[in-house]
């Protein structure tokens, strides 16, 4: 049973990493720059200050979290 759980967790983790990679590529395709490791995304309209994960939120179907971060700052 433990091996099945570990395999499921490993598959989930691999899938999450693939989705993040795809989001970074989509960010680059739409802005012609890679998302910054931290700071502002130069040339991105309505950008926010944050790390790479904040900047790829819209590309991971998490636009609502990005909007929430704009309301807080």
pTM of the predicted model, to two decimals?
A: 0.77
Integer Cα distance of 20 and 59 in angstroms: 9
Q: What 3-state DSSP class applies to 25?
A: helix
pLDDT tens digits, one per residue of 5-51 = 999 999 999 999 999 999 999 989 988 888 888 887 765 656 677 88
**What pLDDT score was predicted for residue 47?**
67
Which stretches of 1-73 are assigned E, i.e. beta strand? 38-40, 49-51
């Amino acid at each position: 049973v433990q091996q099945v759980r570990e395999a499921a967790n490993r598959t989930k983790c691999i899938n999450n990493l693939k989705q993040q990679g795809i989001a970074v590529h989509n960010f680059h395709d739409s802005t012609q720059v890679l998302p910054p490791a931290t700071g502002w995304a130069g040339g991105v309209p309505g950008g926010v200050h944050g790390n790479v994960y904040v900047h790829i939120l819209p590309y991971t179907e998490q636009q609502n979290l990005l909007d929430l971060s704009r309301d807080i700052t």
